[in-house]
Chains A and B, each alone.
Chain A
Amino acid sequence: MATLYSATEISGFTEYNEQFDYNLSSMLAANPLLINDNAFRSNKTNLRLFIDSGNQAITNSSDIVSAQLCYDEGTKLRLSSIYYFNESTS
């Protein structure tokens, strides 16, 4: 039987990390002084960096290994958020 067609689609699963980053922005909107917390700010930037880098790895070269490594770093920030994003510091 001849193969008529095949297709492969690679998508990064970033939903949880995106939602988490969105929640961080929600915290900032509710408490703008939080931006003075250098750890909060730099870790939030890192989270965005990891999400976008993972997406770039898939979009530009379908490199799912590198993408997963980036997503894992972002997930680490999310799962250990109590250490990286302490809302009560400002």
Chain B
Amino acid sequence: MTIPDIVTRAKISQYLAVNAITKGGLNGGGIPSYLPELILEVRKNVEWMYAKDPSDPALVGIGNYLYAITGKFGLQASYLVNTGGSIAGVGVGTGAFRAPLIGVVGRGTIDDPTTGLTDFQSNKLIGLGRTNNNEIQIVIGVTIQWNFGDNKSFDFNSTTGTIYLGNGNTWIYGSGLYVDRNQ
């Protein structure tokens, strides 16, 4: 991650942290009240030096420190940056909840796989399973399917958010698709 990437995420993390503290009630949900200020201050230092001398030897260390203090807000900021800036509510205490992707093959909306194809891509699936080696479970029709271990029935590209059906299978018209996006 480059310094400009970190700065962008720090800017977003700052207001995510403010909102989380505001919604956190007593003690700001355990988030230090100084966190948004600290993110602001360190981010300004990084921006200042990056404009002045991008090769400053301390810059990488301070940049990494900046990304570290953004914590979970930095991860949420990454999600916002990668998806164009929407969804991803700020979770208080238990983390953010993401609504599942529900599609019907051949129905024709953006969340629906196309009949006869072997793959299905959705931006809503980008990043899914990233903390578990891109391993996920999905439900097609009434059958749970997975992309790991024995009897895996599909492949999944977390970077592009694409499901590839295996074993020569294609999407069958009318089948339901359910993907829990909190995995």
Contacts and interface: CB of A to CB of B under 8 A. Distances in A.
Contacts of B41: 21, 25, 44-45, 48
Interface residues of A, number: 16
B65 A22 contact: no
Given A30-B61, A32-B65, A25 B45 contact: yes
Contacts, number: 42
Nearest to A25: B45
B159 to A, nearest CB: 30
B97 interface: no
Contacts of B46: 25
Contacts of B62: 22, 25-26, 29
Nearest to B49: A22
Nearest to B63: A29
Contacts of A26: 58, 61-62
A52 B41 CA distance: 10
Interface string A37-77: 00001001100100010000000000000000000000000
Given A18-B48, A30-B61, A32-B65, A25 B37 contact: no
A29 B48 contact: no
A29 B61 contact: yes
Contact of A41 (B34, B45, B64): B34
B71 to A, nearest CB: 12
B44 interface: yes
Given A29-B64, A30-B61, A48 B44 contact: yes
Contacts of A32: 65, 68
B38 interface: yes
A21 B42 CA distance: 9
Interface of A: 18, 21-22, 24-26, 28-30, 32, 35, 41, 44-45, 48, 52
Interface of B: 34, 37-38, 40-42, 44-46, 48-49, 58, 61-62, 64-65, 68
